[in-house]
Protein backbone atom coordinates (compact mmCIF):
# COMPACT_ATOMS: atom_id res chain seq x y z
CA UNK A 1 0.00 0.00 0.00
CA UNK A 2 1.38 3.41 -0.91
CA UNK A 3 1.13 6.52 1.30
CA UNK A 4 -1.90 7.95 -0.49
CA UNK A 5 -3.82 4.69 -0.09
CA UNK A 6 -2.82 4.65 3.58
CA UNK A 7 -4.29 8.13 4.01
CA UNK A 8 -7.44 7.02 2.19
CA UNK A 9 -7.72 4.06 4.56
CA UNK A 10 -7.81 6.49 7.50
CA UNK A 11 -11.03 8.01 6.12
CA UNK A 12 -9.53 11.48 6.07
CA UNK A 13 -11.24 14.27 4.16
CA UNK A 14 -10.12 14.64 0.55
CA UNK A 15 -8.70 18.09 1.27
CA UNK A 16 -6.67 16.71 4.19
CA UNK A 17 -5.28 13.94 2.01
CA UNK A 18 -4.40 16.45 -0.71
CA UNK A 19 -2.61 18.65 1.83
CA UNK A 20 -0.67 15.70 3.30
CA UNK A 21 0.36 14.55 -0.16
CA UNK A 22 1.42 18.05 -1.22
CA UNK A 23 3.54 18.44 1.92
CA UNK A 24 4.94 14.92 1.57
CA UNK A 25 5.93 15.55 -2.07
CA UNK A 26 7.63 18.82 -1.06
CA UNK A 27 9.58 16.99 1.64
CA UNK A 28 10.66 14.34 -0.86
CA UNK A 29 11.84 17.08 -3.25
CA UNK A 30 13.73 18.69 -0.36
CA UNK A 31 15.29 15.29 0.40
CA UNK A 32 14.09 15.15 4.00
CA UNK A 33 15.66 12.24 5.85
CA UNK A 34 12.65 10.38 7.25
CA UNK A 35 14.93 8.20 9.37
CA UNK A 36 16.20 11.07 11.54
CA UNK A 37 13.55 12.85 13.58
CA UNK A 38 15.95 15.53 14.80
CA UNK A 39 16.71 16.54 11.20
CA UNK A 40 12.99 16.44 10.49
CA UNK A 41 12.33 18.84 13.38
CA UNK A 42 15.12 21.10 12.06
CA UNK A 43 13.36 21.05 8.70
CA UNK A 44 10.06 22.03 10.35
CA UNK A 45 11.69 24.95 12.13
CA UNK A 46 12.50 26.77 8.89
CA UNK A 47 8.78 27.41 8.37
CA UNK A 48 6.29 29.76 9.98
CA UNK A 49 4.06 28.27 12.66
CA UNK A 50 0.99 27.63 10.52
CA UNK A 51 3.03 26.04 7.72
CA UNK A 52 5.05 24.07 10.26
CA UNK A 53 1.82 22.65 11.65
CA UNK A 54 0.75 21.17 8.29
CA UNK A 55 4.23 19.79 7.55
CA UNK A 56 4.45 18.21 11.02
CA UNK A 57 1.07 16.59 10.58
CA UNK A 58 2.09 15.12 7.22
CA UNK A 59 5.42 13.95 8.68
CA UNK A 60 3.68 12.26 11.58
CA UNK A 61 1.24 10.47 9.28
CA UNK A 62 4.09 9.35 7.03
CA UNK A 63 6.08 7.95 9.95
CA UNK A 64 2.95 6.14 11.15
CA UNK A 65 2.59 4.71 7.64
CA UNK A 66 6.20 3.46 7.85
CA UNK A 67 5.56 2.08 11.36
CA UNK A 68 8.37 4.31 12.64
CA UNK A 69 8.44 6.26 15.92
CA UNK A 70 7.17 9.82 15.63
CA UNK A 71 7.50 11.05 19.22
CA UNK A 72 9.75 14.03 18.42
CA UNK A 73 7.42 15.11 15.62
CA UNK A 74 4.43 14.86 17.98
CA UNK A 75 6.28 17.06 20.50
CA UNK A 76 7.04 19.56 17.71
CA UNK A 77 3.35 19.53 16.72
CA UNK A 78 2.28 20.15 20.33
CA UNK A 79 4.75 23.02 20.71
CA UNK A 80 3.60 24.52 17.42
CA UNK A 81 -0.06 24.33 18.48
CA UNK A 82 0.77 25.95 21.83
CA UNK A 83 2.66 28.75 20.09
CA UNK A 84 -0.20 29.30 17.65
CA UNK A 85 -2.73 29.38 20.49
CA UNK A 86 -0.62 31.84 22.44
CA UNK A 87 -0.31 33.99 19.34
CA UNK A 88 -4.08 34.03 18.89
CA UNK A 89 -4.62 34.90 22.55
CA UNK A 90 -2.08 37.73 22.35
CA UNK A 91 -3.67 39.01 19.14
CA UNK A 92 -7.15 38.99 20.69
CA UNK A 93 -5.82 40.71 23.82
CA UNK A 94 -4.18 43.42 21.72
CA UNK A 95 -7.37 43.98 19.72
CA UNK A 96 -9.38 44.27 22.94
CA UNK A 97 -6.93 46.69 24.56
CA UNK A 98 -6.80 48.77 21.37
CA UNK A 99 -10.60 48.95 21.36
CA UNK A 100 -10.74 49.93 25.03
CA UNK A 101 -8.07 52.55 24.48
CA UNK A 102 -10.04 53.96 21.57
CA UNK A 103 -13.26 54.00 23.58
CA UNK A 104 -11.72 55.71 26.58
CA UNK A 105 -9.98 58.36 24.48
CA UNK A 106 -13.44 59.67 23.71
CA UNK A 107 -14.35 61.97 26.62
CA UNK A 108 -18.05 61.33 26.09
CA UNK A 109 -17.54 57.61 26.64
CA UNK A 110 -15.35 58.40 29.63
CA UNK A 111 -18.14 60.52 31.16
CA UNK A 112 -20.74 57.83 30.45
CA UNK A 113 -18.62 55.18 32.15
CA UNK A 114 -17.86 57.47 35.08
CA UNK A 115 -21.57 58.24 35.51
CA UNK A 116 -22.46 54.55 35.28
CA UNK A 117 -19.89 53.44 37.81
CA UNK A 118 -20.62 56.22 40.29
CA UNK A 119 -24.39 55.81 40.01
CA UNK A 120 -24.07 52.07 40.65
CA UNK A 121 -21.60 52.72 43.49
CA UNK A 122 -19.09 50.46 41.79
CA UNK A 123 -15.51 51.35 42.49
CA UNK A 124 -13.26 51.70 39.47
For the segment 39-51, what is each residue's pLDDT rounded down to a tens digit? Answer: 999 999 999 888 9
pTM above 0.85, yes or no: no
How many domains does the chain contain in total?
Answer: 1
- Region 53-81: what's the mean pLDDT? 95
Report the pLDDT value the prediction gives residue 8, as an integer from 0 to 100: 95
Report the pLDDT value the prediction gives residue 101, as an integer from 0 to 100: 76
Report the pLDDT value the prediction gives residue 26, as an integer from 0 to 100: 97
pLDDT band at residue 29 using 50, 70 and 90 as cut-offs: very high
Q: Which residues contact 80 (CB under 8 A, 6 or more apart)?
A: 44, 49, 52, 53, 56
Residue 59 lies in a domain: yes
Residue 72 lies in a domain: yes
Residue 78 lies in a domain: yes
pLDDT band at residue 124 using 50, 70 and 90 as cut-offs: very low
pLDDT above 80: residue 30: yes
User: Can you give the residue range of the structural domain that contains 30?
Assistant: 3-86
- Region 97-120: what's the mean pLDDT? 70
Q: What is the CATH classification number for the domain harbouring 53?
A: 1.10.150
Q: Among 58, 51, 53, which Cα is nearest to 23's?
A: 58
Amino acid sequence: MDFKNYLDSLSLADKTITTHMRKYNKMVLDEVDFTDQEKMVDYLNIYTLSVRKTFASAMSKYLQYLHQPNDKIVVAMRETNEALNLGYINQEYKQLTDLLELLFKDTTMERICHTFFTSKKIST
